[in-house]
Structure 1
Amino acid sequence: MASSLKPKKIYDVFLSFRGAELRLNFISHLYQALIQNGIHTFWDSEELKKGDQISMLMEAIKESCIAVIVFSQDYASSEWCLEEVAKIMECKEQRNLTVLPVFYKVDPKEVREGRESYRRALDKHESKFGKDSDKVKRWKEALFNAGSLSGWHLNDE
């Protein structure tokens, strides 16, 4: 009977985003609104140790009920963000994680189809890791799947 119990999730929401502009504006407001409403939220902190950061982030994703991915123009330039989105989409399939995308000043087609800033970033990753890299293929698939989800579009509002 004990084996049928689901493990309790540590976080209600995991926030995935890239950049100081978002951290200091949209994300900080979103984070405060979630916390004020009693929603236990994980967002990466400047205080995380460099060696532990990626493994800690992956654990936090697994221990969350919902992941909010804020896709911005600079999101795909970060290998860490791409690892996060790949893990988020893996957990969506394997652990029933709810994924809510926010398209912040980018079109979902840009994310999904690798256009504009996403194409430039993925081209750089391909030149670093190789055109046939499994890592880059996994990132592209995760971006396609996440970019295909219904989400919110935010420009300068």
Structure 2
Amino acid sequence: MAPTTRSSDFSLGWSWDVFLSFRGEDTRFTFTDHLYSALCQQKGIRTFRDDEGLDRGEEIGSSLLKTIEESRMYIMVFSKTYAHSKWCLDELAKIMECKTQKGQMVVPVFYHVDPCDVRNQTRSFGEAFDI
């Protein structure tokens, strides 16, 4: 079943209810796939996830930045190598910019990482910034 579209959402500038940010190689076919299915197919929540495989060093696309801007809320799936991806960090920066400007909600999900490691940039998160 396809997600339903509410015309009032479009008039408010929201093209998507939820934008999923995740590291594909960590969670695409496991946790994120199940989360996407539950939101989109079971509950009819318009959820965006980028299904494209990305080449290393590739810049985040302008259409993806626009999608982030037009999303009502964000779910960040922090996994062990999330911070190792420039693409993920660029998404995170844009999401936090939008949160500051428009007040969208950000929901962090910690998948096989301790929230303290993300906050303090230790363990796998610290390794990403030691480069």
Taking structure 2 as the reference length, the TM-score comes to 0.82
Higher relative contact order (CA 8 A, sep 6+): 2
Matching residue's letter, 1:78: S
Cα distance in 1 between the residues matched to 2:53 and 2:44: 23
Q: Which runs of 4+ in 1 moved over 6 A?
A: none
Matching residue's letter, 1:71: F
Question: Contact 1:72–1:103 (CA<8 Å) still a contact in 2?
Answer: yes
What's 2:100 paired with? 93
Give per-residue Cα distances to partners, 1:74-127, cap 9 Å, x unaligned. Answer: 000000100111111111110111100001111111111110111111111xxx
Asked if residue 122 in structure 1 is aligned to residue 126 in structure 2, the reply is no
Following superposition, the deviation at residue 47 of structure 1 comes to 7.0
Cα distance in 1 between the residues matched to 2:53 and 2:129: 28
Greater fraction of residues in helix: 1
What's 1:46 paired with? 52
Cα distance in 1 between the residues matched to 2:129 and 2:32: 24
Matching residue's letter, 1:41: T
The structure number with the bigger radius of gyration is: 1
Matching residue's letter, 2:39: L
Query: RMSD of the TM alignment (CA)?
Result: 2.2
Taking structure 1 as the reference length, the TM-score comes to 0.69
Cα distance in 2 between the residues matched to 1:80 and 1:100: 19
Aligned pair in 2 of structure 1 residues 47, 73: CA closer, same or farther (>3 Å)? closer
Following superposition, the deviation at residue 16 of structure 1 comes to 0.3
Following superposition, the deviation at residue 7 of structure 1 comes to 3.4
Cα distance in 2 between the residues matched to 1:58 and 1:46: 15
Asked if residue 33 in structure 1 is aligned to residue 33 in structure 2, the reply is no
Provide the aligned length of Structure 1 versus Structure 2.
119
The structure 2 residue matched to 1:15, chosen from 20, 30, 36, is 20
Cα distance in 2 between the residues matched to 1:112 and 1:99: 15
Aligned pair in 2 of structure 1 residues 115, 52: CA closer, same or farther (>3 Å)? closer
